[in-house]
Amino acid sequence: MTRRMAALAAAVLAAALAFAPASSATTRQALPKHQLTGYWQNFVNNAKPLKISDISPNYDVIALAFGNADSARPGAVTFNVDPELSTALGGYTDEQLKSDIAAKRAEGKTFVLSIGGEKGNVDLGSEANVANFVDSVGKILTDYGINGFDIDLEHGLNVPNTTSAIRQLRERVGDDFVLTVAPQTLDVQPGGSYLQLVDNVKDILTVVHTQYYNSGSMSGCDGQVYSQGSVDFITAQACSLLKVLRPDQVSLGLPAAAAAAGSGYVDPSIVNNALSCLAAATDCGQYTPDQPHPEISGVMTWSINWDASSGNAFSDPVRTHLDSLP
């Protein structure tokens, strides 16, 4: 082969690689080994309102909360800057939001559109509704430059139809698709609806970050009952998910401040101890895992805004601890 031919072949190969779809493994590796996920509030409450550009660099995955049900089109979802939030931020526009998302993505951050929340719900009770959901969410992901979506449906879950919607969106987006799931504790107890959903889509699932708050006492995988607010409450429930998912698909969801949830706030030191217990079998309470899981994904918090309200009192120590894990 001549030098000119070799150079041409190299150029063709480089071009092919540039446009080739990423493999699932490549997609997973694009996220940090130990992630910190936070929800950005697209509404106004007592937490500090934030532009995307003002989010702390502590966060790796940013969930945009929330996509809203389209009252005129069952199953469909709408998303844009909340008018009250725009006013609170001095006129934050959709175009500014898109630009801020693009800038954060250039820094290596990942975005998901969260569907549901405490007050939200999307009706996926029919195939027509599923089609509306897939079409509308797919367009939002494209328009705003979002990597995927987060399921936080708290008012009933149609498992077969939600499974279908997820897989259709995965086909539409491709291998770079990011899927996160935020079940309440009861929903991932044996027989829980989210446990069924997780089992259906675990081959394309990025991470489950169970909400270990706003919960009563729950059974751990060791058969003991634990009250929220302790290392054991977190670790002995995470154990159940670790039996059906890879460790890198399991994350721990906690509120960023006492005001962020009705109950279940714990000091960041408790969160860090739970991480150490699961990752290295150290700093455990009564429950100790049968084996350490050094690939444990990380932590999710509600919310980035509440964290900012306290001067990053949650994310600073948790980020430092995540970076210290093996």
Task: Provide the 10 A C-beta neighbour count for residue 256.
Answer: 28
Contact 149, 101 (CB under 8 A): no
**Assigned token pair, 174:** 């491709």
Distance of CA 132 to the CA centre of its chain: 23
Query: CA 91, CA 84: separation in Å to the nearest integer?
Result: 9
Closest CA to 263 of 217, 305, 317: 217
Contact 36, 317 (CB under 8 A): no
Q: How far is CA 254 from CA 116, 266, 320, in A?
A: 18, 8, 16
**Assigned token pair, 209:** 């970050």
Helices 231-242/268-280 angle, 10° precision: 40
Contact 37, 301 (CB under 8 A): yes
- The beta-carbon contacts of 77-84 under 8 Å, at least 24 apart in sequence, are 77/113, 77/115, 77/122, 77/133, 77/136, 77/137, 77/140, 78/136, 78/140, 79/42, 79/113, 79/140, 79/144, 81/42, 82/42, 82/43, 82/44, 84/43, 84/44
Contact 62, 55 (CB under 8 A): yes
Closest CA to 42 of 123, 125, 135, 146: 146
Q: Is 171 a catalytic residue?
A: no
One-letter identity of residue 262:
G
Q: Cis omega (within 30 of 0) on the bond before 149?
A: no
Q: Which of 84, 107, 118, 154 is catalytic?
A: 154
State the catalytic residues: 154
